[in-house]
Structure 1
């Protein structure tokens, strides 16, 4: 009669059994962990605060003195050659970081140790609890040995650096120098000595840089002077050898020297004259060719004599035309005018021929001048090219002279500018505030240490709480039944302390009755026909509330008008007969052993309204009785008289009884004790039932206390709803 639940039924059950933990915000989950393990967290916090208080009280008070200095940005005066240094704005950060590093350098710490005579002072080492077994610290005749002074100087410098801190003031040029020690006056003395030592070191470094730069420039100046003289001698010697004669040198804008040779000047002059002669020849040729056209040349048109003759001819021609109007051409006056006109035409022609001859003469003269200049220019070109070939080495010597002269003049200018006074006169480091003797210790700070200890304790406690939470495998609330075990939740049963389960069931207003009524309601949705007709109740181990669950389910079903029988299936440790006040001389084991009459094996539970069957005599091996078919036969026969058969099954772990019983009924109701069993153990038991093909309807969380639940919300609501109002109404 092992029946399974269809998919639609499972979907109907799911909303009733869905765990609430998945919907709980992460903040509430952490708050639940904190509340559950609050004593662990509080204990860790208290322990850390007490430890912090003890450590603070045992610490030696220390005093911090502070001296303030100003570091100004100053560019170098030695190597500030144009286009060599980077822009000041880009080098500021590097400059100040360098200064902060110099403030904490080993040389300054050892200098302060020397100035304050700390190297050979035993009190100084005692002040900082420095005790060494090295030979340098062995006191002989009340003094340290001189041969270990170098080691003591190094160690003294390390001590000072370990207790010194440099703190630049943001967005300013101010730097605070802090020194901490158990002696307030000593702290102030070291802080002031440190600032003075830094200023002295800075001045000495500038003096050394200035002196070194001056000597270096002086040596380079002498070397550059020799190079300049040598290059000039080479230039003059080569010019004399090659007979290169140049005009006086001219200084260009870029500092180089420019010279012009005589050949180049002559070639330039003649080339200009040739260009002018060519232009004149072209103009003369144009005039000459234009004059070839009679009477049409521009020279003829501009000639005054020709223009006068033409004007007179025009006048005579006008008079001649007037005479022809009245007279014949043979008229004497007309013939005279005609003769004068012909004479004027001959004069104009003669004058035009004279002008044309003059143009030809000018043209031929221009051609001759152009040819002469062209020949001379070609001659000078050859001379100039030859000069250029001979001037290649000359120009090389000239460039070397110019370069050496520029370097020499630059070095000479820097040598004049640099000086000891210029390098040391301005100091870019100054003391703003001297360190005062501190009036109160800077450490330990009680409140700060206690606050740190408090936070550390909270962190340690939180870590321990989370670790304990991860290690805790107990089922704490109903939501974990499905989340951890994968079982549908049928309901949770509150823990009953003041009365027995039977007494609580007899009180129909008790929380136990309300809880099992809810479980019965959920069971009604597990099969197609409602509440399963046969079911067993089991658990992982004894004393988890399985017998109480079986008793309560039988009671709730009986009160709903059903005929119910409760069978005590735990033949190893029977308990149902105690509820009925009878012995277990007759019961389940008798039927399994072969007795067919069921009536003598049962008894009535009149106060609870159902029939019960005890476990019967305890057999030598209960599992052997259950392996047969007698249990299935018993259930079939009980169904003839009862609507529901509830079997109180033995625990699963260590026994074969529970899987055998589970395989004969429709399904199993699994009881899980809240805060009483590890989830891994329950999973193992469930795996055993699954291997027996048992169908599990769901889980019941027993002995549940809402105040111990992980999420502490919702599970305590409902059982007492309306009772207070009913009590008030009765009163």
Structure 2
């Protein structure tokens, strides 16, 4: 179908198209005038973007995220928010509301839930794109009721968000309170074990005592080294009568010189007199006395050196034993100190866990008592002065557009049901034969002229045309 055929069909079925068009337009106007007027109360809310939460100091959620704004819209249209509106306005206590509930449900169910579902059907929430604005609209037949319900939904939304936050904070505070009792017991147990161990081991200042014992150990080590040196020296000097200290003793050397002189005198006297001579006997007695005195003195000196060597060895052994005992004492102190440090770390860890939990508990308590939210009412819903529906001009424009389409459609359907020949092209399609000429009623002078179809060659002799 080309444009010419479409126009020919539309001209032939013009009255049908106009009738359908008129019926649609008139019907839309009548329906728009008969429908009850509806008023819409609109509240504009804004969600504040706080970079840091003022209570816990943590980063606030990104309010520009699409899922965050969609979540806020779902909270507004939630059943719990609608129940808050019902409770805030006391709608379930109104007599007309109870009558409508009984008429609709025959008294079955809960009137609060029924009212909440009824209010949500007339509620529309639209978050602004790429913005922190949320538009809340409620439509009702009464303009004051529409405004009151829209404002009530805004307040209920703020209350619901605040309740969600405070309820979560209250649950956290209960949990942290129970944990605080356990952590406090653990801290007291750790402190008691630390104190008992410190008292049992007699540790007052572990660092000072360990330093003192360590210094004493170092001193004993030095003394042991010196005693070892002295004992070695004493053993090297204690060699009996031939010890250098014995031989080099001035008194012994003097006695030796005296003994040598007496021996020389005695030998000289022995050559002159016999053994029974009084001088010989006296010289021999004097010589024996000097020799005995030298031997006794040598023996005493040798015995003294041996005693000194024994004393040095005994002192070395005593110092070595004291050093070993001091080592054990220092090792024990180090072990006690290590155990005390372990107990001290346990006390510190328990204290740290208790302090952290106490901070979280205090924070949860503050959050559970804080009713502030990041939601503000940018524009409350005023009482609407003009109805939002029905919109007569909009419905009329839609009716004109729809009626025009339906009129054209009905004309085309009628043409398909009752096909007529409207042009030469219809004959060509119907008979599958070419059209050589078109005859139409025209004024007398014009009838003498033949009308040739465009696009066809004119015959050389028009009178030679014969009917087919």
TM-score, normalised to structure 2, is 0.56
Residue in 1 that maps onto 2:39 = 63
The reply on whether 1:455 has 2:426 as its aligned counterpart is no
Residue in 2 that maps onto 1:411 = 357
SS of 1:493 mapped into structure 2: coil
The reply on whether 1:556 has 2:467 as its aligned counterpart is no
Shift of 1:449: 0.9
Q: 1:133 to 1:185 in 2, by over 3 A?
A: closer
Q: 1:43 to 1:469 in 2, by over 3 A?
A: same
Residue in 2 that maps onto 1:257 = none
SS of 1:88 mapped into structure 2: coil
Does the aligned pair in 2 maintain the 1:53–1:446 contact within 8 Å? yes
Q: 1:496 to 1:167 in 2, by over 3 A?
A: closer
| Counterpart pick for 1:493 among 412, 430, 437 | 437
- Counterparts in 2 of 1:86-165, with a 5 A limit? 88-89=61-62, 92-124=65-97, 132=103, 134-136=105-107, 151-165=110-124
Question: Which structure's residues are more often helix, by fraction?
Answer: 2
> Aligned equivalents of 2:150 and 2:164: distance in 1?
21
> Aligned equivalents of 1:190 and 1:508: distance in 2?
79
Shift of 1:60: 0.6
Instruction: Say which structure, 1 or 2, has more relative contact order (CA 8 Å, 6+ apart).
Output: 2
Shift of 1:179: 2.0
Q: Deviations over 1:459-511 (max 9, x none)?
A: 333444555566676564444666x4694x54343244589xxx99xx98243
Shift of 1:91: 7.2
SS of 2:383 mapped into structure 1: coil
Q: Deviations over 1:252-285 (max 9, x none)?
A: xxxxxxxxx99xx9xxxxxxxxxxxxxxxxxxxx
| Counterpart pick for 2:28 among 47, 52, 64 | 52
- Counterparts in 2 of 1:56-455, with a 5 A limit? 56-73=32-49, 88-89=61-62, 92-124=65-97, 132=103, 134-136=105-107, 151-227=110-186, 406-420=352-366, 423-424=369-370, 426-455=372-401
Q: 1:112 to 1:508 in 2, by over 3 A?
A: closer
Does the aligned pair in 1 maintain the 2:39–2:387 contact within 8 Å? yes
Gaps of 5+ in 1: 1-20, 22-28, 137-147, 240-246, 249-260, 266-383, 525-551, 559-647, 649-668, 670-731
Aligned positions, number? 345
Does the aligned pair in 2 maintain the 1:77–1:418 contact within 8 Å? no
> Aligned equivalents of 2:414 and 2:407: distance in 1?
10
Q: Deviations over 1:332-372 (max 9, x none)?
A: xxxxxxxxxxxxxxxxxxxxxxxxxxxxxxxxxxxxxxxxx
Question: Which structure's residues are more often strand, by fraction?
Answer: 1
Shift of 1:45: 2.6
Q: 1:42 to 1:124 in 2, by over 3 A?
A: farther
Q: Deviations over 1:149-176 (max 9, x none)?
A: x522222222211122223345543433
Q: 1:131 to 1:229 in 2, by over 3 A?
A: closer
- Counterparts in 2 of 1:24-63, with a 5 A limit? 29=2, 33=6, 36-37=9-10, 39=14, 40-63=16-39
Cα RMSD of the aligned pairs, angstroms, is: 5.4
Q: Deviations over 1:667-697 (max 9, x none)?
A: xx5xxxxxxxxxxxxxxxxxxxxxxxxxxxx
The reply on whether 1:509 has 2:468 as its aligned counterpart is no
SS of 1:65 mapped into structure 2: strand
SS of 1:153 mapped into structure 2: helix
Q: 1:419 to 1:73 in 2, by over 3 A?
A: farther
